[in-house]
Chains A and B, each alone.
Chain A
Amino acid sequence: MARTVMQRMGGKDQILAGLMLSPTVLAAVFFIYAFILWTIWLSLTRSTILPSNHFVGLANYQDLFGSSRWWRSLSNLGIFGGLYVLISMAIGLILAIFLDQRIRGERLFQVVFLYPMAISAVVTGVAWRWLLDPNFGVQAIIRSLGFSHFHFAWIDDPDLAIYTVVIAAVWQTSGFMMAIFLAGLRGISPDIVKAARIDGAGTMRIYRRVILPNLAPTFFVAFILSAGLAIKAFGLIIALTGGGPGYSTNVPTIFMYVFSFERGEMGVGAASALIMLAIMMIVVVPFVILDARRKA
Chain B
Amino acid sequence: MRRLSIYLILGTAALFFLLPLYIMLVTSFKTMPEIYNDGILALPHHLDLYAWHHAWSGATIGASDQGIHPFFFNSFELVIPAVIISTAIGAINGYVLTHWRFRGANIIFYLLLLGTVFPFQIILLPMAWVQGQLHIAGTLIPGLVMVHIIYGLAFTTLFFRNYYVSIPHDLVRAARVDGAGFFRIFWRVMLPLSTPIIMVTAIWQFTMIWNNFLFGVVFTNSDQQPVTVAINDLVDTVTSVHMWNVDMAAALIAAIPTLVVYLLAGKYFVRGLTGGAVKG
Contact residues, A90-128 vs B (CB, 8 A): 91, 94-95, 98-99, 101, 103, 109-124, 126-128
Residue A161, interface by CB 8 Å? no
Supposing A24-B89, A28-B112, A116-B17 touch, asked if A276 and B122 sit within 8 A by C-beta, the answer is yes
Residue B73, interface by CB 8 Å? no
B157 to chain A: which residues have CB within 8 Å? 24
Q: Is the CB of B207 within 8 A of A95?
A: no
Contact residues, A177-194 vs B (CB, 8 A): 179-180, 183-184
Q: How far is the CA of A23 from the CA of B108 in the complex (A)?
A: 12
Supposing A276-B121, A280-B117 touch, asked if A95 and B182 sit within 8 A by C-beta, the answer is no
Can you list, as one digit per residue, whether each of A72-85 has a CB less than 8 Å from chain B (1) or not (0)? 00000000000000
Q: Is the CB of A141 within 8 A of B13?
A: no
Interface residues on chain A, size class: 35 or more
Q: How many interface residues does B have (CB within 8 Å)?
A: 92
Q: How far is the CA of A94 from the CA of B16 in the complex (A)?
A: 15
Partner of B96, one of A2, A20, A91: A20
Shortest Cβ distance from A253 into B: residue: B121
Q: How far is the CA of A164 from the CA of B234 in the complex (A)?
A: 21
Q: Is the CB of A27 within 8 A of B150?
A: yes
Segment touching B, from A7-15, A60-68, A149-157 = A7-15
Residue A284, interface by CB 8 Å? yes
Partner of A109, one of B14, B118, B266: B14
Q: Is the CB of B127 within 8 A of A31?
A: yes
Residue A231, interface by CB 8 Å? yes
Q: Is the CB of B111 within 8 A of A28?
A: yes
Q: How far is the CA of A269 from the CA of B121 in the complex (A)?
A: 9
Q: Is the CB of B153 within 8 A of A27?
A: yes
Shortest Cβ distance from A255 into B: residue: B121
Minimal beta-carbon separation of B131 from chain A (angstroms): 11
Supposing A21-B97, A127-B248 touch, asked if A239 and B10 sit within 8 A by C-beta, the answer is no
Q: Is the CB of A2 within 8 A of B169?
A: yes
B144 to chain A: which residues have CB within 8 Å? none
Partner of A28, one of B101, B115, B125: B115
Q: How far is the CA of A122 from the CA of B20 in the complex (A)?
A: 13
Q: Is the CB of A127 within 8 A of B182?
A: no
Q: Is the CB of A21 within 8 A of B14?
A: no
Shortest Cβ distance from A287 into B: residue: B117
B150 to chain A: which residues have CB within 8 Å? 27, 31
A175 to chain B: which residues have CB within 8 Å? 17
Contact residues, B122-159 vs A (CB, 8 A): 122-129, 150-151, 153-154, 157
Residue B74, interface by CB 8 Å? no
Minimal beta-carbon separation of B16 from chain A (angstroms): 7
Partner of B92, one of A20, A126, A183, A277: A20
Shortest Cβ distance from B186 into A: residue: A20
B202 to chain A: which residues have CB within 8 Å? none
Shortest Cβ distance from B258 into A: residue: A118
Contact residues, B78-102 vs A (CB, 8 A): 89, 92-93, 96-97, 100-102
Listed from nearest, the 9 A-B pairs whose CB atoms lie closest are A235-B213, A17-B100, A120-B211, A118-B262, A273-B121, A35-B126, A35-B123, A38-B126, A127-B20
19 A-B pairs with CB atoms under 8 Å apart are: A6-B173, A17-B96, A24-B157, A33-B111, A34-B126, A35-B126, A98-B6, A109-B10, A120-B212, A122-B228, A124-B20, A130-B27, A136-B39, A180-B273, A221-B278, A234-B214, A256-B124, A273-B125, A277-B121
